[in-house]
């Protein structure tokens, strides 16, 4: 093996990096366990706030290799929502509200009807909302120019009454896009308030939507309220430190008292038998000094007062950090403590009633690497700011006369009047600009601003001025965000998913390892070692990339285990061929690897291409599956080609002997003579019957569409006792107005299942922020009618009709793209259209058969067979596996065709021989993959049971199509080509001897 030293060095480097990145996960989990132990009382109850304070105290402290707890947490291998509970939300900025604001909130009935119709059309259209609105408006009011509607004072300088339709359309699209950008930045700031580890926030390209994943949140109502509210922009006066000095002194006394109480409680806990006298005599605690203060002589009063003042100052400086003469801050790790203290009624009573505490939006770094969050004392009489963001007409980033970045803003007439009064009263003082109660800037007012046109300058970067301009524009239009997709997973379901995933992974791994050793004897141990290395590298790479492990991700690992065997099987079967030719072990290993490379690369690349398509088009759980699958394929190739080779070469060089078969499998598939080709019309007929029955079922019965594709709300409900789905359906129909879909969804209990999945379209078009809460309350009302069987909603999912249509279109495109990409790859690699035709026909065959099975057996099998995003992910993976299997056969066919070129060997004979020679590999790979998927199906949990069922059936169908559909179609296509190239008198298809080798070659029939 060439470059062996380099490969060994690379392996060691990857191993060390994997250990390094995985170590963060263990450290993070260890600290979280310590926090749980610290917050758990004697009865076993965990105080969540106490646990959070423990974590906050270390958040900015170095805990491992110079990394803070925050950095350690960010680098750990995170768990997805389905494994630890949490919330997945897709937000959409309301374009109708943006257009309504741009039009000055016109009451024109045709305008409002066009908005309403555009919202309805968008449920089944890929066009932008602006285009749909304009088309409807032109239809309803053909003689009205758009400029006459949108040329308002707020848009002065951008369009006027003479602006063309194209200019107005461009303005509307720019404003909608800008609103989405602003919403993203606002949501990003709001997400930070949840304090969750590894939140995921991203814009969905081309859709105007924002995806948010918040693992571990346990208050969905708070999430919905914070994420969907319109941005609140405020301009307020600011109290200086001198103006609140008495209150701050009182705060110092409060902190002294709190510290004294804390020490007293610790001392009492340490020595509960100690008397009050003993405590007073000790004189070591602050509270003892305070208790004895009145007993001291009058001559000591000055000293005592000085001591108390010093104690107060010390207490203040322990929490608050002076930033400047007029600014205080708090170390970031102490903000939770500061918030708790500032919200105490006793502390609030010290400050003016119109004072509100507000934090800066960003931290300041200190010389020692710590971070300070500035605190502002802003003035809101009656809780209301004197000026809000609805008066802003425009804002932009610019440069002042010295070339320094600044922000300019313009206000309407009402805003200009209030702004003049506010600036006149605060010349030489700061005025704070807040968004969602976070201070974005607090510039000093230089002089009175009479006309509403202002510039804000300071020590800004260009990016900061852009951000501030966006913040100011966020208050310009009321553009609330709507939740168009939501998935809430309870902690209980998350823990069950973890257990199911771990069990399925371990059992699947053990079964595959045992099967490989049973089939390949001692050489199987080498393959098993390569599998372990593969899994270790897979987890290490995922940790280094910051990937999140989901339940479908675990399914991807399990599938990787099964498919990773394939590369080793291809190598071992080739080595067995070389040994059968009489070569010594060392040469057989070298030639076996050389002849297996082509099949390995081709088969894995086709699956990799499918995984990449899944990665591009998938979201949420499917994205987790695709990530694991893509990484797994790469690590599998490295482990099989390099790790296996290094171990085999090392073992052989030291004189070891290896057997590549056991007594049970030695003669298995040897000299097989199955005639696959001559009966191909029978197989075509069988497939046609199954597909035909599926088409009939689809026409008359249809599919069970998941919420992903039809929209609606879905709830997983768990009862204390087994329950009838008919009872649930009947009682819910009485409160929902129509019968929901109710299916058994896992669960256990004597006499039946205690868990169901309820899907309903009730209140689906209601985008009100309270709608989700109202629907959930209605569901509980219906469930309460089932006497003596208490119910609890474990998880929920919501998908709006618009996003459901988009998901459906995206799924269709991803399937078609996968077919096109694989067609192109086969054509490039095999350079004959007949191979591409056979591969694509097999892919269509597999898709249609799986769809047929899911339609025919929907409602018959005792688990969900809904068509959803997970099903599409399974379908694409099945296509990848089928291509993997087909390409291996095609590779051997190509090899045999090259060997028999110029000889009178018929295409059916050659292909029969190729199929028989790869039969051993097909069987071993298929059985190992089916075994691991069977384990996943049994132990993987209800959440992915339909997914794993589709995968299991898909592997069976994919193996069948490779042998009985794809290759026979190649036979027909190549026979026609041969007939066109051969004179009529020449034999086109001579009598074949299935399994016979090409003339001039002596080669066994295994792959």
Q: Which CATH architecture has domain 712-796?
A: 2-Layer Sandwich (3.30)
Model confidence pLDDT, tens digit, residues 240-278? 888 988 888 888 888 877 777 767 766 665 554 444 344
Structure tokens at 397: 């980033």
Q: Which helix (H) or strand (E) holds 586?
A: helix 585-617
Of these ranges, 135-139, 741-745, 971-975, the one predicted with the greatest mean pLDDT is 135-139
Which of 481, 370, 515 minimizes the C-alpha distance to 767? 481
Higher pLDDT, 48 or 167: 167
Q: Which residue has the tokens 């020692």?
A: 368
Q: Which helix (H) or strand (E) holds 479?
A: none
Helices (H), 521-584: 522-544, 551-580
Structure tokens at 877: 């993976």
Q: Which helix (H) or strand (E) holds 334?
A: none
Model confidence pLDDT, tens digit, residues 57-107? 787 778 898 888 888 887 888 777 767 777 878 888 778 888 887 887 778
**pLDDT at residue 989 is higher than 60:** no
Helices (H), 771-918: 771-783, 801-830, 833-856, 869-899, 907-917
Q: 283: buried, middle or exposed (CB in 10 Å: 19+, 13-18, 0-12)?
A: exposed
**pLDDT at residue 376 is higher than 90:** yes
Structure tokens at 211: 């995806």
Model confidence pLDDT, tens digit, residues 824-848? 888 888 888 888 888 888 888 988 9
Model confidence pLDDT, tens digit, residues 882-894? 887 888 888 888 8
Q: Which residue has the tokens 């329950």?
A: 723
201 φ/ψ angles, rounded to the nearest 5 degrees: -135, 125
Q: Give percent helix, percent strand, percent coil of the chain, each to the nearest 5.
A: 60, 15, 25
For strands 387-388 and 392-399, give the pairing.
unpaired
Residue 747: what pLDDT?
A: 60
**pLDDT at residue 526 is higher than 60:** yes
Separation between Cα atoms, residue 235 and residue 76, nearest integer Å: 40
Q: Which of 315-324, 732-741, 747-756 comes out lowest in average pLDDT?
A: 747-756
Model confidence pLDDT, tens digit, residues 495-514? 666 677 677 778 878 888 88
CB burial of 73-92 (b: ≥16 within 10 Å; e: otherwise) equals bebbbbbbbbbbbbbbbbbb
Given this chain, do its domains 386-477 and 712-796 carry the same CATH topology? no
**pLDDT at residue 288 is higher than 50:** no
Model confidence pLDDT, tens digit, residues 639-668? 888 899 898 988 888 887 888 888 777 777
CATH tag, 386-477 = 3.30.1360.200
Model confidence pLDDT, tens digit, residues 683-730? 999 999 999 999 999 898 888 877 767 778 888 888 888 888 888 888
* Tally of CB atoms within 10 A around 596: 26
Domain range summary for the chain, segments of one domain joined by +: 4-76, 90-230, 240-374, 386-477, 492-700+806-981, 712-796
Separation between Cα atoms, residue 81 and residue 766, nearest integer Å: 26
* Tally of CB atoms within 10 A around 480: 16
Of these ranges, 188-197, 446-455, 605-614, the one predicted with the greatest mean pLDDT is 446-455
The mean pLDDT value for 308-325 works out to 72
DSSP secondary structure letter of residue 202? E
**pLDDT at residue 43 is higher than 50:** yes
Residue 294: what pLDDT?
A: 39
Separation between Cα atoms, residue 34 and residue 63, nearest integer Å: 13
Separation between Cα atoms, residue 693 and residue 708, nearest integer Å: 26
Q: Which helix (H) or strand (E) holds 318?
A: helix 301-319
Distances (CA, A) of 152 to 84, 147, 636, 970: 50, 9, 62, 67
**pLDDT at residue 291 is higher than 70:** no
Separation between Cα atoms, residue 362 and residue 236, nearest integer Å: 19
Q: Which residue has the tokens 């049994």?
A: 938
Biggest CA-to-CA distance, the chain: 132
Based on its alpha-carbon atoms, the radius of gyration of the chain, rounded to whole angstroms, reads 35
Distances (CA, A) of 954 to 110, 636, 963: 52, 21, 14
DSSP secondary structure letter of residue 122? G
Which of 175, 38, 34, 33 minimizes the C-alpha distance to 98? 175
Structure tokens at 509: 């791994």
Residue 193: what pLDDT?
A: 58
Contact 1003, 574 (CB under 8 A): no
């Amino acid at each position: 093996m060439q470059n062996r030293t380099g490969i060994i060095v690379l392996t060691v480097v990857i191993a060390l990096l994997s250990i390094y990145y995985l170590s963060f996960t263990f450290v993070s989990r260890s600290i979280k366990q310590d926090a749980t132990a610290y917050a758990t009382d004697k009865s076993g109850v965990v105080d969540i706030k106490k646990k959070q304070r423990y974590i906050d105290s270390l958040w900015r402290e170095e805990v491992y290799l110079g990394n803070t707890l925050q950095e350690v947490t960010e680098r750990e291998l995170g768990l997805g929502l389905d494994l630890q509970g949490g919330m997945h939300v897709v937000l959409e900025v309301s374009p109708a509200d943006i257009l309504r604001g741009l039009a000055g909130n016109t009451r024109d009935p045709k305008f409002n009807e066009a908005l309403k119709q555009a919202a309805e059309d968008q449920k089944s259209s890929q066009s932008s909302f602006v285009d749909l609105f304009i088309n409807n408006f032109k239809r309803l009011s053909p003689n009205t120019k758009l400029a006459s509607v949108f040329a308002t004072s707020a848009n002065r300088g951008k369009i006027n009454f003479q602006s063309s339709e194209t200019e107005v359309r461009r303005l509307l699209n720019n404003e909608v896009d800008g609103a989405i950008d602003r919403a993203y930045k606002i949501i990003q700031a709001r997400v930070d308030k949840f304090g969750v580890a590894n939140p995921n926030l991203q814009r969905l390209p081309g859709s105007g939507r924002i995806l948010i994943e918040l693992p571990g949140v346990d208050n969905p109502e708070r999430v919905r309220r914070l994420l969907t509210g319109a941005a609140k922009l405020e301009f307020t006066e600011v109290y200086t430190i001198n103006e609140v000095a008495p209150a701050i002194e009182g705060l110092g006394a409060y902190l002294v008292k709190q510290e004294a109480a804390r020490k007293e409680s610790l001392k009492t806990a340490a020595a509960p038998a100690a008397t009050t006298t003993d405590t007073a005599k000790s004189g070591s605690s602050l509270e003892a000094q305070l208790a004895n203060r009145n007993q001291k002589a009058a001559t000591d009063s000055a000293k005592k007062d000085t001591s108390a003042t010093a104690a107060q100052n010390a207490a203040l400086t322990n929490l608050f950090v002076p930033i400047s003469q007029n600014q205080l801050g708090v170390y970031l790790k102490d903000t939770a403590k500061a918030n708790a203290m500032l919200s105490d009624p006793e502390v609030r009573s010290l400050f003016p009633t119109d004072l509100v505490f507000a934090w800066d939006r960003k931290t300041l770094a200190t010389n020692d690497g710590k971070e300070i969050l500035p605190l502002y004392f802003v003035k809101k009489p009656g809780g209301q700011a004197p000026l809000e963001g609805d008066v802003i007409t425009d804002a932009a980033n610019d440069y002042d006369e010295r070339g320094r970045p600044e922000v300019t803003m313009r206000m309407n007439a009402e805003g200009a009047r209030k702004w003049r009064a506010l600036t006149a009263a605060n010349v030489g003082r700061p005025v704070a600009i807040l968004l969602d109660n976070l201070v974005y800037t607090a510039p000093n007012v230089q002089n009175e601003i009479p006309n509403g046109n202002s510039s804000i300058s300071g020590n800004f970067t260009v990016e900061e001025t852009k951000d501030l301009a966006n913040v100011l524009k966020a208050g310009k239009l009321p553009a609330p965000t709507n939740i168009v997709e939501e998935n809430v997973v309870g902690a209980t379901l998350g823990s069950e998913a973890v257990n199911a995933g771990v069990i399925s992974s371990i059992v699947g791994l053990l079964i595959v390892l045992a099967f490989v050793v049973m089939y390949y004897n001692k050489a199987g141990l080498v393959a098993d070692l390569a599998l372990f290395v593969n899994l270790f590298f897979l987890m290490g790479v995922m940790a280094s990339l910051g990937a999140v492990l989901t339940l479908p991700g675990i399914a991807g690992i399990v599938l990787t285990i099964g498919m990773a065997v394939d590369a080793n099987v291809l190598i071992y079967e080739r080595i067995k061929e070389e040994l059968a030719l009489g070569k010594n072990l060392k040469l057989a290993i070298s030639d076996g690897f050389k002849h297996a490379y082509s099949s390995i690369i081709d088969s894995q690349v086709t699956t990799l291409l499918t995984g990449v398509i899944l990665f591009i088009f998938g979201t949420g759980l499917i994205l987790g599956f695709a990530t694991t699958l893509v990484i797994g394929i790469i690590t599998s190739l490295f482990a099989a080609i390099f790790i296996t080779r290094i171990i085999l070469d090392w073992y052989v060089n030291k004189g070891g002997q290896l057997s590549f078969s056991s007594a049970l499998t030695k003669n298995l598939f040897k000299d097989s003579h199955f005639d696959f080709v001559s009966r191909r019309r029978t197989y075509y007929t069988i497939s046609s019957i199954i597909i035909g029955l599926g088409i009939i079922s689809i026409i008359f019965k249809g599919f069970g569409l998941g919420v992903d594709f039809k929209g609606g709300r879905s709830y997983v409900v768990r009862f204390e006792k087994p329950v009838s789905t008919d009872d649930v359906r009947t009682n819910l129909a009485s409160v929902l107005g129509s019968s929901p879909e109710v299916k058994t969804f896992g669960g256990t209990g004597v006499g039946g299942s205690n868990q169901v999945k309820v899907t309903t379209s009730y209140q689906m078009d209601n985008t009100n922020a309270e709608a989700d809460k109202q629907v959930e309350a209605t569901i509980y009302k219906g469930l309460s009618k089932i006497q003596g069987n208490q119910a609890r909603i474990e998880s929920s999912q919501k998908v709006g009709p618009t996003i459901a249509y988009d998901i459906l279109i995206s799924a269709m495109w991803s399937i078609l793209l996968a077919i096109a990409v694989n067609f192109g790859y086969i054509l490039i690699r095999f350079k004959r259209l007949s191979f591409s035709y056979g591969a694509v026909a097999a892919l269509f065959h597999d898709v249609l058969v799986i769809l047929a099975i899911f339609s025919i057996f929907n409602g018959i099998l005792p688990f969900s067979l809904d068509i959803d995003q997970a099903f599409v992910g399974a379908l694409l993976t099945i296509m990848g596996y089928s291509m993997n299997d087909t390409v291996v056969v095609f590779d051997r066919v190509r090899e045999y065709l090259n060997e028999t070129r110029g000889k009178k060997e018929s295409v059916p004979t050659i292909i029969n021989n190729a199929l028989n020679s790869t039969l051993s590999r097909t069987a071993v790979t298929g059985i190992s993959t089916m075994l691991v998927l069977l384990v996943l199906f049994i132990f993987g949990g209800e959440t992915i049971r339909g997914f794993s069922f589709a995968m299991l059936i898909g592997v069976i169908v994919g193996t069948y199509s490779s042998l009985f559909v794809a290759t026979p179609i190649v036979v027909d296509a190549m026979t026609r080509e041969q007939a066109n190239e051969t004179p009529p008198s020449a034999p086109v298809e001579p009598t074949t001897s299935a399994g016979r080798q090409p003339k001039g070659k002596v080669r066994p029939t295994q792959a």
